[in-house]
Amino acid sequence: MTQKKLTYKEAFSELENILVKLENNELDVDELTESVKKASELIKFCKAKLFETEEEVEKIIHDLDSENNK
Amino acid sequence: MQPKPLSLFELNNQIKGILKTNCEKSYWVTGEISEIKVNHSGHCYLELIQKDPASDQIIARSRATIWATGYRMIKPYFETTTKQPLSTGLDIMIKVCVEFHEVYGLSLNITDIEPVYTIGELALRKQNVIQRLNEEGVLEMNKELEFPYLCHKIAVISSVTAAGYEDFMDQLLSNSSGYKFYVKLFPATMQGKEAEKSIISSLDKIYQYESVFDAVVIIRGGGSKADLSCFDSYWLAYHITQFPLPVLTGIGHEQDDSVVDLVAYNRFKTPTAVASFLIDTITEHDVNLHQVEEQIIHCVGELIIDTQEIFVSVVANMTQKIKDLVLRKNIILQDFNFSLTTLAKKVVYHKKIVLNKRETRLTISSKNFWNNRQQDLQTFIKILMKHLNFVFEKNKNRLERFDDRIVYLNPRQIMKRGYSITRKNGKVIKDSHSLEKGDDLETILYKGKIVSVLKKK
């Protein structure tokens, strides 16, 4: 859904940017749809970071285990 | 001549005597424990040293003993006061009797201890470590690191069996919100002489995987009054200050913070407190995320309502304006209509008047014309009649005269006087040239006619 290297921090600050734009009424109705879509993707991404297991990280940690046991 | 030599026993006996007479009954002495062991009968054997502070070289060394009866009192007294076990590396202040045994040599018999001295010495030593780190400008370095925005990949340094580690894991992994943490244990010895080296070695390992982790947590099993002096170690503290990841401690002791606690990014009383802290940081993100989500939803909702309201008001406004416009146009139209009708009526009225006038004029003039013509006609007729009468009269006279003349002119009247008319084939012959011999001729007389054939010409 989003770029591979997106970090939680970047995602969250982008969410805040969208919010600021919304609060300042900087978005017209056409941009609104796009921004809301983007925001919902970012929220999904952030929630996944907080709650869901990333296989990639699990694997790295697991690999550390096997290296240490050698 | 050489004096008679003493036997070793005699010499040792003499030394014993000299010491006994010249030494006081007891002394308060300070020194560092370099070795300590307790044998099966409960006697405690120590080696005490003194180092030159500048060169760190040992400048004095002596054996010492705490007999089992004394040790049973001294040990708990010391440990409850200092919260430290009587162990190597500690500076102690003890009350000793100097004893000399012919077989075992010089030994100090420890009869009392002053734990407050040790506390002071430890504090002083700790102070020196802190001062050194400070002078080197590294004391705050770990604290100055930027705490990771999202801290959930944790490298833990602890002993595998430590209760504190278990508490930490329980707390962290069973967090009620279900946040995801990745924890990797780097085992280390957490007390005693080996601890410093062991913990540093674990730090070095984590350093190799620096990019994998967000933070390092150093935790220690709770409760026991084990030797914590390793956490005041200069080298361990130095390593922590230089570590690229923030270090959190949960060493779990009631005393003042250790140097490690001091240099760590953040220190906590217990391993569970570290876990709570980590959960809290994630909770904060979760709450912020939730708030932003709510706010976005709220804002979008409001924006939609606003837009709808604007739309509705624009439509209402427009409808009103159109109505007004229609109304105005209607009025104008009615005005115009009225004006037009009035004007038309006026025009018609005027035209009617003009027409009437014309009609009247026309009637009058046509009557006149008619009368005039009639008069003209009558005059003409009169004149004509006059003329006619005149012409009649004139012609009557002429005709009468003509009638007289025409009687004389009639061929019969002439023929009566002997004249005849000869015709050839119906044609009157006026010249003899046109006649041929044998032609049939018809001659008309006053009375009757003669048909003849020409005999001679």
Cβ–Cβ below 8 Å for B282 and A50: yes
Q: Are residues B208 and B65 in the same domain?
A: no
Better-scored residue on pLDDT, B156 or B53: B156
pLDDT given at position B164: 86
For the cut 90, the answer to whether the pLDDT of residue B206 exceeds it is yes
For the cut 80, the answer to whether the pLDDT of residue B182 exceeds it is yes
Render pLDDT for B273-305 as a digit per residue (tens, 0 to 9). Answer: 999 999 999 999 999 999 999 998 888 888 888
pLDDT given at position B136: 94
Q: Are residues B163 and B225 in the same domain?
A: yes
Q: B50: helix, coil or strand?
A: strand
B353 in any annotated domain:
no
Taking Cα atoms as reference points, which of B36, B24, B34, B98 lies closest to residue B71? B36
B232 in any annotated domain:
yes
* B153 interfaces chain A, CB cutoff of 8 Å: yes
State the helix-helix crossing angle for B234-242 and B195-208, rounded to 10 degrees: 10
Question: Measured between beta carbons, which residues in chain B are less than 8 angstroms from residue A58?
Answer: 182
Cβ–Cβ below 8 Å for A32 and B180: no
Q: Are residues B79 and B174 in the same domain?
A: no
B378 in any annotated domain:
no
* Closest in A9, A51, A60 to B179, CB measured: A51
How many domains is chain B built from?
3
Cβ–Cβ below 8 Å for A68 and B205: yes
* B97 interfaces chain A, CB cutoff of 8 Å: no
Q: Are residues B149 and B269 in the same domain?
A: yes
At A68, is the pLDDT very low, low, confident or very high (cuts 50, 70, 90)? low
Residue B251 Cα, gap to closest chain A Cα (Å) = 24
Cβ–Cβ below 8 Å for B182 and A19: no
Q: Are residues B163 and B256 in the same domain?
A: yes
Q: Are residues B17 and B70 in the same domain?
A: yes
At B227, is the pLDDT very low, low, confident or very high (cuts 50, 70, 90)? low
For the cut 80, the answer to whether the pLDDT of residue A69 exceeds it is no
Q: Are residues B95 and B222 in the same domain?
A: no
Question: Measured between beta carbons, which residues in chain A are less than 8 angstroms from residue B286?
Answer: 50
User: Model ipTM?
Assistant: 0.84
Cβ–Cβ below 8 Å for B299 and A51: no
pLDDT given at position A70: 43
Cβ–Cβ below 8 Å for B184 and A22: no
Which of B286, B307, B335 is the last residue in one of the domains? B286
B384 in any annotated domain:
no
Question: Measured between beta carbons, which residues in chain B are less than 8 angstroms from residue A51?
Answer: 178-180
Q: Are residues B149 and B112 in the same domain?
A: no
* B212 interfaces chain A, CB cutoff of 8 Å: yes
Q: Are residues B282 and B140 in the same domain?
A: yes
CATH number, domain containing residue B24: 2.40.50.140
The structure tokens listed for B233 are 């170690």
Average pLDDT of chain B to the nearest whole number: 88
Render pLDDT for A20-53 as a digit per residue (tens, 0 to 9). Answer: 988 888 877 778 888 889 989 999 999 998 888 8
Which of B286, B312, B336 is the last residue in one of the domains? B286
Other CB atoms closer than 10 Å to residue B247's CB: what's the count?
A: 26
pLDDT given at position B32: 93
B439 in any annotated domain:
yes
Render pLDDT for B53-73 as a digit per residue (tens, 0 to 9). Answer: 888 899 999 999 999 999 999
pLDDT given at position A1: 46
Cβ–Cβ below 8 Å for B184 and A65: yes
B356 in any annotated domain:
no
Render pLDDT for B376-413 as a digit per residue (tens, 0 to 9). Answer: 889 988 998 888 888 888 888 888 887 777 777 777 77
Q: Are residues B275 and B146 in the same domain?
A: yes
Domain of residue B34, residue span: 8-118
> DSSP letter string over A1-70?
---TT--HHHHHHHHHHHHHHHHTT---HHHHHHHHHHHHHHHHHHHHHHHS--HHHHHHHHHHHHHHH-
Q: B75-79, B110-114, B198-202, B251-255 — which is least confidently predicted?
A: B251-255
